[in-house]
Amino acid sequence: MGHDETDVAGAPAREVKLGQLLGLMSYVSPDRDPVAGRDAASGPGEGPQVESRPLYWCKTTNPFWTIPEVPYGTDVRVLMPEAPDFDRLWTLLTGSGISCRRVGYWVEDEIISTVGPDGRTGPLWATTTLTVPGARRATWRARTPGHTARDARDAFQMVWDAHGEAVQEHRPVHVPAAGLVPELWLDYLPFDTLNPAQVQAVPAVLNSDGHLVITAPTGAGKTVVGMLAVLRTILGEGRKAAWLVPQRSLTDELDRELESWRGKGLRVERLSGEHIIDLEKIRAADLWVATTEKFESICRTSSLQAALGEVGCLVVDEVHLLGSPGRGPLLEALLARVRGADSRVRIVGLSATVSNAEEIAGWLAGRLITTTWRPTRLTWQLPCVPAYRDHLNRRDRRKDDEVRTRAAVALTLRVTDAGGSVLVFCGSKHNVRTTALALAAARGVHTRDIKADSDDIDSIHKVCAKASIGLHYKGWEFRREAETRFRAHDFDILVATTTVAAGVNLPARAVVVRDTQVGLDKLDVATALQMFGRAGRVGAGELEGWAYLIADETEHAGWQRALVDGYTVGSRIHATLPDHVLAEVVQGNITSVEQAEHWWRRTLCQYQGDDDTEPVVEAVDFLTDHGYLTQTARPDGSVQVTVTDLGLVTARLMVGTEVGADIRDVLNELAVPSDPGTAEDILIRVVATLVPELAFAPVADNLRSAVSTVVEAGGRRDRMPRTITPRLGIADSVRPGDLAQAALMLAAHSPHSFTHGHRMVGGLPSSTIFPILDQAPRYFAWLAAQGHLAAIHPWIAIVAADIERRVRWRRLGPRRGAGRLLWMCEEMATPAETEEYVPVLWRSATGAGVTDPDWPGSRPPRYCRLGPEEYAGLLRARTTGCELTRKAGEVRADAVAGVLVTWTGRATASTVVNGGASVPFPSLSPGEPDDPGAGAAIFTKRGDYKALGWLDRYHGMAHWSSEDS
């Protein structure tokens, strides 16, 4: 068989309408050498891959494809689309004895071969095409040898093997659950039959006691396996169970799935950052459904240790996230605490398929159950687009976004035009909107007057819904509607960020991953595989799923290698090691440096070969140097470590120790402000720029001008222009922390802007700033708690306490000085009823003209949730009636129990007060001005405070001025 007007790579020179297949054509770069006979340079350590077989494997979207001359005995295989246009090619090739397989929605063109330009067998090589809208002909990239060719070969083999049998053979054989599950437990299960993956795992769950790691592809029904592990513990052993999931949204979904359990008498409690913790309900619960972070915070709560002791099973969903930079370290530290054959807590880890699952099971001292069964056959592909560069050789974001959007639209419509549904994953909210509008336009809906960055989200929602397209990202107020309509097949396209990837049950026929960048981070292979796992609508009776990841030419080979090799879990605990050492000390698991070294030997990091204990010793020293721990030499030569009060509050609020140290170091070097406005701006700026999740919150390009305007105005709406216009150059630049600073300044200085639920505040979408305002209060609360510890300057603690409550209760519109009254309302509402009763108590008080908690009398106010004795104890914890008297060289506090702190400039002195006591003013710190200012403050253990000087503006709202908005 010879070429039919082909170039040396085997591509036909004639013009082919590939657009009918994909809607894309390949791009011929004017400076690209089209000769494919030139081998690309191998990377470090890469040489030509030795391949013993003479082979010529081809993926094609060209119905006129022909095979070049190859040596006798060459293994020739062809993958082609399952489409009528290819019937002729199929007949021609199979009639010539060539092995061919047809794949639905096929879009890739690639050759993997050992046949060289001279027709002789040589080293393995591979080449693929670039695809881009509007190009006129297919052009092949230069041949690549070595590992890249090997990965291309293995990727081809995966598809070839998957399509070696008819899809009907994938229909699962379900087994009645009654044959494996105790009869009394059957009503707790969502189905009365078990699929093959569940049949394989259930005997180990029910008939053994040890730790388990169960790996299965996404969609294989691991939730039912987790349910049975929990039921065995609760109903079979009479103990509690905990079920950990990686995201808040998944606690909601799992909680809904377990709602029927409540009707059968089981007490299921959902624990996540969005829900107030009722300690009594937690203690009484049979099952806790929690994020890893919330469960760890429970572990650090001393009043819940007895309840924790009753936990007999820990189900860990997505246990492969041990390798995640964000969530992995905390999960590793938690599992290191309970792993081992002698543990009283059984770990049942549910995992996606990972390449080193046996290693994870070995670390836990558990058993590995692996299944490759999946309810649908999954085919993934990597459409390759050009990597555009500007004149400075930087990534051209505009062109890159354009080609990815057009590629995503073409791939999506290819599936939906055939009656399928598609999930399109994007790396940012902006890209979600851009792609959704492009899809709507491609479906004939008029979108020309609507911009992706528009504040008019109603119009965006309306035009996309008209085209049967839903949007989904955190803060999009129509996302629940989008979920419902997509499940009901009212929408056949859902464009989303990664919020949908990790377990939210929204399957589709196909998945399109538009971006390989998620926010500021590169997309990792674990997340990509989770996205792929959404492909395949089992409930609709479909047996196949398709996944596409759009990769540019610089990353195509890397992604092919990553997907072929699979995800390998590697420890990430080094990054936050001091945090986890502190947590173990707080919980009594580490009491000496030697025990810290022993704890290290229980970590996954050590199990994976890192035997060096020096980092953990350095972590202990770091915690000691920054006041979180103390070290004391014992008579036997060992070194005892003890947590300080600062360490306790840091662990309880889960503030990163390094972040906390940075904040304290910076604040302690600053001169004491002379007024509340300056103090608040300083504190906000420091927290916004030093807390990573606040500092690096992504800012959409269209919001940069608004962010700059808000920061320049200090968040005061009366100083901002009515219309914010874009600015050029450096004037419109946004630095790390500016978005968080803008959000916090708006909450602090324009509280009235938050009382009516507006979508825009100060020119910024509430969906953009609210996540920041939900995260930030924890850091201000941490600073405020240090007032009673005398661990930080009083101005910092008092200003932080006021800001923390004003930000947290921003919907009530509290102004400067409201912190103490809000504190009183929180205390009277009790933790379990805070969300419901604080607003009621606040409005009742402010409606009656009350501006602080210093009211007379001992009768509880209306709506107070405390009993008489509890309320009397709260009254004693106020600073009401406290007298701070300044005398020569000292300050005296009377009629109060707490900690009295005096200061001269940055220097402080303190003492415990129980009735009355005096503290002298400290001497000046070196390098301070002669008259830096002096003052005093009293802090009660329960959280109230009182101060002299300008800090008395935070005693209440009585002396309000326009500056105290």
Fold of 573-654: Arc Repressor Mutant, subunit A (1.10.10)
Q: In this model, does residue 939 exceed pLDDT 60?
A: yes
Half-sphere exposure of 772 (CA within 13 A, CB side): 29
Instruction: Kindly report the three-state secondary structure assignment for every residue of 272-303.
Output: CCCCCCCHHHHHHCCEEEEEHHHHHHHHCCHH
Fold of 377-562: Rossmann fold (3.40.50)
Which of 487-501, 568-582, 587-601, 646-660 is predicted least confidently? 487-501
CB contact at 8 A, 395 and 389: yes
CB contact at 8 A, 78 and 58: yes
pLDDT of residue 166: 65
CB contact at 8 A, 872 and 858: yes
Q: In this model, does residue 47 exceed pLDDT 50?
A: no
CA 82 to chain centre: 38
Question: Token pair of 393, please?
Answer: 């050789």
Q: In this model, does residue 798 exceed pLDDT 70?
A: yes
Please, which pLDDT band fits residue 51 given cuts at 50, 70 and 90? confident
How many residues does the structure list for the chain? 965
Question: Token pair of 871, please?
Answer: 């309320």
pLDDT of residue 520: 79
Q: Could you tell me which residue, 590 or 304, shows the higher pLDDT?
A: 590
Query: What phi and psi, each to the nearest 5 degrees, are found at residue 483?
Result: -60, -50
pLDDT of residue 354: 87
If you search the block for the tokens 């600062």, which residue do you land on?
Answer: 646
Q: In this model, does residue 943 exceed pLDDT 90?
A: yes
Q: Could you tell me which residue, 277 or 788, shows the higher pLDDT?
A: 788
**How many other C-beta atoms are found inside a 10 Å radius of the C-beta of residue 160?**
17
If you search the block for the tokens 């912190």, which residue do you land on?
Answer: 819
Q: How do residues 328-352 score in pLDDT, each as one tens digit?
A: 999 999 999 998 878 899 999 998 8
pLDDT of residue 12: 32
Query: Which residue from 690, 750, 683, 689 is spatially nearest to 714, judged by alpha carbons?
Result: 750
Q: In this model, does residue 20 exceed pLDDT 50?
A: no
Q: In this model, does residue 280 exceed pLDDT 60?
A: yes
Q: What percent of the chain has a predicted confidence (pLDDT) above 90?
A: 67
pLDDT of residue 41: 33
Please, which pLDDT band fits residue 134 given cuts at 50, 70 and 90? low
Q: In this model, does residue 18 exceed pLDDT 90?
A: no
Question: Token pair of 296, please?
Answer: 């760890």
Q: In this model, does residue 962 exceed pLDDT 60?
A: no
Q: Average pLDDT for residues 950-956, to the nearest whole number?
A: 94
Q: How do residues 223-274 score in pLDDT, each as one tens digit?
A: 999 999 999 999 999 999 999 998 877 888 888 889 999 999 999 998 876 5
CA distance 663 to 654: 15
Q: If you average pLDDT over each of 37-41, 110-114, 733-737, 930-934, which comes out highest?
A: 110-114
Axis crossing angle, helix 657-669 with helix 614-625, rounded to the nearest 10: 30
pLDDT of residue 551: 95
Residue 401, amino acid: D
Contacts of residue 875, defined as CB under 8 A and 6 or more positions apart, other chains included, come to 858
Q: Average pLDDT for residues 776-797, to the nearest whole number?
A: 97
CA distance 658 to 641: 19
Residue 304, amino acid: L
Helix (H) or strand (E) holding 113: strand 110-115
Q: How do residues 292-331 score in pLDDT, each as one tens digit?
A: 998 998 888 877 888 888 999 999 998 999 998 888 999 9
Q: Average pLDDT for residues 664-672, to the nearest whole number?
A: 94
CB contact at 8 A, 84 and 63: no
pLDDT of residue 507: 81
Q: What percent of the chain has a predicted confidence (pLDDT) above 70?
A: 90
pLDDT of residue 3: 30
**How many other C-beta atoms are found inside a 10 Å radius of the C-beta of residue 922?**
17
**How many other C-beta atoms are found inside a 10 Å radius of the C-beta of residue 237?**
13
Q: What is the largest CA-CA distance in the chain?
A: 107
Query: Which residue from 682, 658, 660 is spatially nearest to 671, judged by alpha carbons?
Result: 682
CA 15 to chain centre: 46
Count of helix runs (H) and strand runs (E) in the chain: 34, 34
Local structure of 374: helix, strand or coil: coil
CA distance 776 to 803: 10
Q: How do residues 683-698 score in pLDDT, each as one tens digit?
A: 999 999 999 999 999 8
CA 181 to chain centre: 35
pLDDT of residue 2: 34
pLDDT of residue 575: 92
Q: In this model, does residue 383 exceed pLDDT 70?
A: yes
pLDDT of residue 46: 39
Q: In this model, does residue 64 exceed pLDDT 70?
A: yes
pLDDT of residue 725: 62
pTM to 2 decimals? 0.87
Please, which pLDDT band fits residue 540 given cuts at 50, 70 and 90? low
Taking the alpha carbons at both ends of the chain, their separation in whole angstroms is: 83
pLDDT of residue 217: 86
CA distance 441 to 350: 41
CB contact at 8 A, 244 and 262: no
pLDDT of residue 313: 96
Q: Average pLDDT for residues 47-64, to the nearest whole number?
A: 81
Fold of 175-370: Rossmann fold (3.40.50)
CB contact at 8 A, 47 and 146: yes
Q: How do residues 868-915 score in pLDDT, each as one tens digit?
A: 999 999 999 999 999 999 988 899 999 999 999 999 999 999 999 999
Query: Which residue from 831, 787, 746, 837 is spatially nearest to 951, judged by alpha carbons?
Result: 787
- For the chain, give the mean pLDDT: 87
CA 508 to chain centre: 22
Instruction: Kindly report the three-state secondary structure assignment for every residue of 644-709.
Output: CHHHHHHHHCCCCHHHHHHHHHHHHHCCCCCCHHHHHHHHHHHHHHHCHHHHCCCCCHHHHHHHHH
Which of 401-410, 704-713, 762-771, 951-960 is predicted least confidently? 951-960
CA distance 860 to 829: 11
CB contact at 8 A, 384 and 374: no
